[in-house]
Amino acid sequence: MSTRNDMKRKLARRLRRRQHIRESVYGTAATPRMTVYRSHQNIYCQLVDDQRGITLTSASTLGKEAKGLVSGHPGNCKAAAEVGKLIAEKAKALGIGSVQFDRNGYKFHGRVKALVEAARKAGLKV
């Protein structure tokens, strides 16, 4: 069982990792930053142009497009893979072929890995 202090330490470690990643990853209009956020129930993905400070497109398990694609629990690897395919399709529609991946401090396994591999399989260079 984890205590409140354990949860605070875990969050602090993730925020340190996130800060370290953000120092080297910077999105432009040609190659935007693909950032991922995962909650217990859902997963979210955005393509961000850091030069202009805008979000180009986004996809999540809560979106209208993903509602029909995601079967079962929206917080599993299959749902993350569907979001990865969806974000790759939206990027292609905008004429974006490659992105810089920002894992937002999360370890590269499980749902985050499933999302990225699905986006790669759909033709997005990550």
Secondary structure percentages of the chain, helix, strand, coil, to 5: 45, 20, 35
Pair 37, 43: CB distance under 8 Å: yes
Domain for residue 113, yes or no? yes
Domain for residue 51, yes or no? yes
CA distance 24 to 100: 10
Asked if pLDDT for residue 1 goes beyond 70, the answer is no
Q: Token digits for 5?
A: 């202090």
H or E stretch including 47? strand 43-49
Indicate the pTM of the whole model: 0.87
Q: How many domains does the chain have?
A: 1
In this predicted model, what pLDDT tens digit does every residue of 23-64 receive, in sequence order? Answer: 888 888 889 999 999 998 999 999 999 999 999 999 999 988
Residue identified by tokens 């690897």 is 77
Name the residue range of residue 96's domain.
4-121
CATH number of the domain residue 15 falls in: 3.30.420.100
Q: Which amino acid is at 22?
A: R
What angle is formed at CA 51 by the lines to CA 48 and CA 52, rounded to 5 degrees? 75
Domain for residue 102, yes or no? yes
CA–chain centroid gap for 49, Å, is: 14
Domain for residue 126, yes or no? no
Asked if pLDDT for residue 67 goes beyond 90, the answer is no
